[in-house]
Amino acid sequence: MVRWLLFIVFILLIDFYAYQSVKLLTKNRLILVIYWLISLAILVNVIYHLSNFRGSHGFNHSLMLAIGLLILSIIPKITAILVLFSEDIFRVFNTGFSYFFNSSTTTHFLERRVFVSKVALGLAAIPFASIIYGMTKGKYNFKVIKHTLFFNDLPEAFDGFTITHISDIHSGSFDDAEKINYGIDLINEQKSDVILFTGDIVNNTADEMDSWISYFKKLKAPFGKYSVLGNHDYGEYVRWNSSEEKDQNFKAIKAIHPKIGFNLLLNDSVYLENNNQKIALIGVENWGTRFKKAGDLIKASEKINKEDFKILMSHDPSHWNTEVKNHPNNYQLTLSGHTHGMQFGIEIPGFKWSPIQYIYKQWAGIYKEFNRYINVNRGFGFLAFPGRVGIWPEITGITLKKK
């Protein structure tokens, strides 16, 4: 109850502060009433859906739309408030100056406040338009991001070997078959040697994937397609009637992978062979500092040798940061996802930012420590917020090269 109260108070404070600017620009009572009706309706709607979050539907379209509308309402208001607050600070200092020097600037303050309110609302239009775009177009704005990685110990036969890395399909969020088909075709256009998927095939339940099996079956790679599980694949965001029902759903989720031609690695490994040389591919179940710890790196690596060149698939990048990067059993390349880059941020040449970086040290793209690499895929799908702003859905192409 305390968290709910703090959440409600926080949202209402933002609404009230932004309302002062609207009220300054118009005295039309209908507009002011509409402002509050829309703001309160969005708040009540998201509270209703969040309070039933762990009900039978988990992350469904209604919940995500409610979250999307709240973000659409609040982020532009926060933008406006930052401008208004800076003007308030200036006014406090100016009022103090006027008090001590008997100077009256009331009219000037009012004129400036009206001007600043117009500027604030104008600036708020930028995130408003960006979020609208993100919810309608950005969530399917697939980007192919390519990396070439160099290794001293890569077998000669795998010099130039190509990987397509995808993650976080989240099929329960899909609402446009044409766009998904385009994304699948884009993956196949990479003509990679192997396709690797690092988990979260659904949001909640196995049946979310039923309509999309025929699409993902079309993926092709000469060295095969391999996958692991993510935190959403364990059915832990739904209230089940019994443990047996939850177990049946988990079995059904694991059964999806062979239906779309993927070899699901459950704390297991395989060798990829080429011209009598081989590299090891290891797949662990989900392991995260904040989420389910089902991954067992020791068990997954039992069949391989320490001197093998290794590619590790592990959904949550916190696993790499916590256990993998400094592990004595050298894992040269780790592939992860999970963060989605928060589906919100800024990426321009030479600069990359998202709020998720304050939670995950490795959150999007390639990172290197101790001569070991991790690629954190930004995700194929989307979750919670039904869109993407600045951080687009990703298909990663990785080329392995020998130094």
Distance (Å, whole) CA 195 – CA 33? 54
* pLDDT surpassing 80 at residue 103: no
Mean pLDDT, residues 144-163 taken together = 98
How far apart CA 200 and CA 194 sit, in angstroms, is: 19
Q: Which domains are delineated in the chain? A: 2-136 (no CATH), 143-402 (3.60.21.10)
Res 394: pLDDT:
98
CA 396 to mean position of chain CA atoms? 15
Range of lowest pLDDT (107-111, 297-301, 395-399): 107-111
Is the Cβ–Cβ distance between 190 and 144 less than 8 Å? Answer: yes
Local structure of residue 323 (DSSP, 8 states): I
pLDDT at 21: 86
pLDDT (tens digit per residue) in 329-372: 999 999 999 999 999 999 999 999 999 999 999 999 999 999 99
| The two three-digit tokens of residue 401, written as one number | 């090269």
Q: What is the H or E stretch that residue 300 is in?
A: helix 297-300
> 386-397, pLDDT tens digit by residue?
999 999 999 999
Give the DSSP letter of residue 324: I
Question: Which tokens belong to 366?
Answer: 């390639």
Instruction: Please give the pLDDT value at position 85.
Output: 81
How much of the chain, in percent, has pLDDT values that exceed 90?
A: 83
Q: How far apart are CA 260 and CA 232, in angstroms?
A: 18
Helix (H) or strand (E) holding 333: strand 333-336
Judge whether residue 107 has pLDDT over 60.
no
Overall average pLDDT of the 234-245 stretch: 93
**Helix (H, G, I), strand (E, B), or coil: what is residue 253?**
helix
DSSP state of 319: H
351 neighbors 365 (Cβ within 8 angstroms): no
Q: What is the pLDDT of residues 112-126, one digit of tens each?
A: 778 888 898 899 999
